[in-house]
Amino acid sequence: MFKGLKPILYGGREVWPLVEGGKGVSATNHMSSGAWAAAGGIGTVSAVNADSFDAEGRIIPQVYQSLTRKERHEELIQYGIDGAVAQVERAYEIANGNGAININVLWEMGGAQPILHGVLERTRGKVAGVTCGAGMPYKLSEIAASYGVYYLPIISSGRAFRALWKRAYSKAAEWLGAVVYEDPWLAGGHNGLSNAEDPRVPQDPYPRVAELRAVMREGGISDDLPIVMAGGVWRLDEWDNWINNSELGSIMFQFGTRPLLTQESPIPPGWKARLMTLEEGDILLHRFSPTGFYSSAVLNPFLRNLEGRSERQIAFTKEHVGDHAFALDVGIGTRKNYWVTKGDLQHAREWHGAGYTEAIKTPDDTLIFVTPEEQKQIRKDQADCMGCLSQCAFSSWAENEKNSTGRLADSRSFCIQKTLQDIAHGGPTEENLMFAGHSAFRFKSDPFYSNGFVPTVKQLVDRILTGA
């Protein structure tokens, strides 16, 4: 029988130990996070390129006017601050004094530090904590502490937390609100898989979280400080042995996927409808993201196109070397200094004959073959870059003196800002990146959603509290 949860103290008030996952570009906003807090949990406003509003309450399109990437990057930072502030203020009003409001940022997003400073400065007293992952956010504790808010690092191993604690977090221990363990195989969005871990062999989260707690104890951190289990959490009765478990200490649970399918969820109707049709195996753990991280998304035509782009790939040399004894004669215009193997020459000719007539060089001394239309779109997307990441493989943007990674732009990837903005604001679900956790297929079989039922956030939270 399900033990049930008890409220905990967070931000000076009692809340349910239930956290709404803060999902990227506009997939959580003031409506969903405010409602989650109103239901007594911890709502999480996504502070990643969040929407802001005009005087009539309409979303302000994020259109970039500047000619240079660096200037567009400054526009992006201002959009980011204004949008997150607007979302926090609205969420705080909806919560009406209940629960708590966190914000979520990605450490590897463009302008992460100035955006975080700008948002926390303008929302004093309204934000309880900052969750942050996608990288090693060493300065997170310093920034959060300077505004008197909690910080909740998102990590995927005890080893990662140990590094953060020793280098920075131990100096601001009193503001550590919780540690979020995000399962790198099951969570949606970007995943924290290390090079030592096999993406095809998921590991049981229990021993990994037990190890994390052991690392926290090494640092003198009380068992009362919660670990938030995130990724793969669907119903709490499946996690019953984690509750009141002395080996794990205090545990909270984060729900990222289930809140997508609520009345208050801001994602468009087409996205919600697609969630109800997913089958097990429809979520792909892939490495096409321009961040360089693994990420999990619905395996739709958008991702299949990226798979195809990488499959139409051959290695080359600039000189006649070994098996690279055949001059490439398709896809390269008048250039004749690409040498390939006999088999790859045959592949290239077949792709050329199928309409993939343009060859694009990659940073790894390979060529990918695409259609002329696709090449044109790739080049435009790369030229339109506004620096939404600290460094981007797709466009070669980086937040450094030269604003460049120093590597060739990688056309095997894509503009993540463009596709996430498009799908969040009504663009076609089959032609955009659709992030989702690996449990999303359960919408179809869970009786709670039978006959197309879409709950309110309050109904969902009440359901979760029963264990189901």
Closest to 107 measured CA to CA, from 381, 291, 373, 348: 291
Considering only CA atoms, which of 426, 441, 435, 430 is closest in space to residue 305? 430
User: What tokens were used for 466?
Assistant: 């029963």
Taking the C-alpha atoms of residue 253 and residue 19, their distance in angstroms, rounded to an integer, is 6
Residue 17 and residue 8 in contact, taking contact as beta carbons nearer than 8 Å: yes
Q: What is the DSSP string of 105-131?
A: EETTBTTHHHHHHHHHHHTTTT--EEE
Sorted by where each starts, the structural domains of the chain and their CATH numbers stand as 8-291+445-465 (3.20.20.70), 300-431 (no CATH)
What are 1's two structure tokens? 């029988």
Q: Are 111 and 77 in contact (CB under 8 A)?
A: yes
For residue 210, the Cα-to-chain-centroid distance in whole angstroms is 25
Write out the E strands in 30-69: 42-46
CB contact at 8 A, 89 and 50? no
User: Residue 28 has what pLDDT?
Assistant: 86
Alpha helices in 128-277 (DSSP H): 140-146, 158-167, 205-218, 269-275
Q: Which residues of the chain have pLDDT under 70?
A: 1, 334-336
Residues 6+ apart with CB under 8 A from 221: 173, 176
In 147-282, alpha helices (H): 158-167, 205-218, 269-275
Res 133: pLDDT: 86
- How much is the mean pLDDT over the chain? 94
- pTM assigned to the model: 0.94
Q: Can you tell me which residue has the tokens 């939270």? A: 461
Report how far residue 195's alpha carbon sits from residue 156's, in angstroms, rounded to the nearest whole number.
13
330, with CB counted inside 10 A (0-12, 13-18, 19+), is middle
Q: Pick from 83, 226, 95: which is nearest to 153 by CA?
A: 226
- How many CB atoms sit inside 10 A of residue 59's CB? 15
| Residue partners of 323: CB distance under 8 A and separation at least 6 | 341, 342
| 3-class DSSP state of 96 | coil
C-alpha to C-alpha distances, 73 to 69, 98, 245, 441, nearest whole angstrom? 6, 36, 46, 37
DSSP state letter for 236: G
- Report the distance separating Cα 134 and Cα 468, nearest Å: 30
Cβ–Cβ < 8 Å for 229, 252? yes
C-alpha span between 249 and 226 (Å, rounded): 7
Q: How many Å apart are CA 407 and CA 398, to the nearest integer? A: 10
Query: What's residue 136's pLDDT?
Result: 84
Q: What is the pLDDT of residue 190?
A: 85
SS3 154: strand
Q: Could you tell me the end-to-end alpha-carbon distance of the chain, in angstroms, rounded to an integer?
A: 12
β-pair partners for 283? 298
Distance CA 394, CA 408 (A): 9
Spatial distance between the Cα atoms of 369 and 375, rounded to a whole number of angstroms: 9
Please give the C-alpha separations between residue 447 and each of 330, 359, 453, in angstroms, as whole numbers. 55, 50, 9
CA distances from 25 to 32, 80, 420, 452 (A): 14, 10, 6, 26
Burial readout 109-124 (b: 16 or more C-beta within 10 A, e: otherwise):
bbbbbebbebbbebbe
